């Protein structure tokens, strides 16, 4: 297991900048997820790390070694592909053993390691099975086993759970998480699913249009998003647009048209007094409050353990609330409020190229 460092990595395809110069470090044993919509550059960065794509500029350093010019087969990285890429003409065992046979290990050593990794991925006894006999979830585990059995310096995963149904996806997410906790491996994971990122990662790098927009733990990013894009991408959000009135000591106030009082909240970086910004209120913090703002209850959406309710203020703004069903029982006109501590004032995400 090694540390990974991207120094000034960028990638352009002609006039298209898939990746702007990016610096990123992954400490040893950390599970880092690149999270973003398609076109954000996350897969590009992964492929540069794996060596399938050469960067236009910058260096990739693994464990102190500059590997930028090395071809994939010399990088000792374990990659799990989106569609698994299991060799259809080999059995499960042969697939898993492939990287080991290439490294010319002894027959016994290979057998031992394959058996061990099959046990770890709950595929014990599947060694002789043909790939086409396996379900999607099983194939996914074989792909994972094949990648980790070679004891790679870094584990790379390119949206490996995309083809699985929701229930299975959740199960496998937890399995991968447990595997990581049992034996931490430096891992670079790519996904567009924010829930997935939150479940599995030690740290998340949110990417957009070829740049890393925010880097931090799931909690950091959820509670203190850097801008409106991150706020919208991770979790549900209510965003009220306005102008920054005051800015001091990490806190700011926002003038929102239609509100008699300016909103107060934590200030994200990059704010300027007098500039446009948005106030973020997570739906779970919008609650009933006697003496609070008047709002009319619109749609109610039953979500199982929660209920989502659309609230329309006199100013015309609409806010979603997600609380337990008891919160808004039956009434059409309510008084609402929120914790000032739950408010973030965020710069608007700019349109970048």
Site of interaction with other proteins (CB under 8 A): 50-52, 71-79, 81-83, 85-89, 98-99, 102-103, 146, 150
Phi, psi of 28 (to 5 degrees): -60, 135
Least distance to other proteins from the beta carbon of 123, Å?
A: 18
* Alpha-carbon distances of 177 from 121, 204, 286, rounded to whole Å: 12, 14, 32
Closer residue to other proteins, CB minimum distance, 120 or 197: 120
* Alpha-carbon distances of 293 from 50, 113, 229, 248, 333, rounded to whole Å: 54, 64, 27, 26, 10
Identify the bridge partners of residue 60 per DSSP, sorted by sequence position.
Answer: 6
Least distance to other proteins from the beta carbon of 89, Å?
A: 5
Least distance to other proteins from the beta carbon of 212, Å?
A: 24
Question: H or E segment at 1?
Answer: none
Closer residue to other proteins, CB minimum distance, 158 or 227: 158
Closer residue to other proteins, CB minimum distance, 120 or 256: 120
Closer residue to other proteins, CB minimum distance, 41 or 99: 99
Least distance to other proteins from the beta carbon of 180, Å?
A: 20
Whether 130 contacts 91, CB under 8 Å? yes
Closer residue to other proteins, CB minimum distance, 81 or 259: 81
| Plot region of 319 (φ>0 → left; ψ -120 to 50 → alpha; else → beta) | beta
User: CA-CA distance, 205 to 20, in Å (whole number)?
Assistant: 14
Closer residue to other proteins, CB minimum distance, 105 or 342: 105
User: CA-CA distance, 6 to 284, in Å (whole number)?
Assistant: 37
Closer residue to other proteins, CB minimum distance, 80 or 295: 80
Least distance to other proteins from the beta carbon of 149, Å?
A: 10
Q: What six digits make up the tokens of 87?
A: 């060799």
User: CA-CA distance, 199 to 178, in Å (whole number)?
Assistant: 11
Burial of 178 (0-12, 13-18, 19+ CB in 10 A): exposed
Least distance to other proteins from the beta carbon of 294, Å?
A: 52
Least distance to other proteins from the beta carbon of 81, Å?
A: 5
Closer residue to other proteins, CB minimum distance, 100 or 334: 100
Least distance to other proteins from the beta carbon of 70, Å?
A: 12
Closest C-alpha to 320, from 341, 344, 338 = 338
Classify strands 276-281 and 287-302 as parallel, antiparallel or unpaired: unpaired
Q: What number of residues does the chain have? A: 353
Closest C-alpha to 31, from 128, 142, 173 = 173
């Amino acid at each position: 297991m090694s540390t990974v460092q991207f120094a000034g990595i960028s990638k352009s395809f002609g006039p298209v900048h898939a990746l702007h110069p990016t610096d990123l470090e992954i400490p040893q044993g950390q599970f880092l997820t690149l999270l973003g919509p398609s076109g954000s550059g996350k897969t590009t960065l992964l492929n540069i790390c794996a060596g399938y794509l050469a960067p236009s500029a910058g260096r990739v350093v693994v464990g102190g070694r500059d590997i930028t010019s090395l071809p994939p087969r010399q990088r000792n990285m374990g990659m799990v592909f989106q569609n698994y890429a299991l060799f259809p003409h080999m059995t499960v065992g042969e697939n898993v053993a492939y990287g080991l046979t290439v490294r010319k290990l002894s027959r016994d050593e290979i057998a031992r390691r394959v058996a061990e990794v099959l046990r770890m991925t709950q595929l014990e006894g599947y060694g002789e099975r043909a790939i086409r006999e396996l379900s999607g979830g099983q194939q996914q585990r074989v792909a994972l086993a094949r990648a980790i059995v070679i004891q790679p310096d870094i584990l790379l995963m390119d949206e490996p759970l995309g083809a699985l149904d929701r229930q299975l996806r959740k199960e496998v997410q937890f399995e991968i998480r447990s595997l990581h906790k049992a034996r931490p491996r430096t891992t670079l994971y790519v996904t567009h699913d924010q829930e997935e990122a939150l479940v599995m990662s030690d740290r998340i790098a949110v990417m957009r249009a070829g740049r890393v927009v925010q880097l931090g733990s799931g909690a950091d990013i959820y509670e203190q998003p850097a801008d409106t894009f991150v706020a919208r991408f991770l979790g549900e959000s209510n965003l009220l647009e306005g102008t920054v009135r005051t800015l001091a000591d990490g806190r700011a106030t926002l003038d929102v048209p239609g509100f008699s009082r300016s909103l107060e909240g934590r200030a994200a970086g990059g704010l300027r007094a007098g500039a446009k910004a948005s106030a973020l209120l997570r739906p779970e913090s919008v609650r009933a409050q006697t003496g609070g703002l008047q709002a009319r209850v619109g749609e109610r959406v039953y979500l199982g353990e929660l209920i989502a309710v659309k609230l329309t203020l006199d100013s015309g703004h609409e806010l979603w609330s997600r609380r337990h069903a008891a919160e808004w029982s039956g009434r059409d006109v309510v008084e609402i409020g929120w914790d000032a501590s739950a408010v973030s004032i965020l710069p608007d995400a700019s349109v970048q190229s």
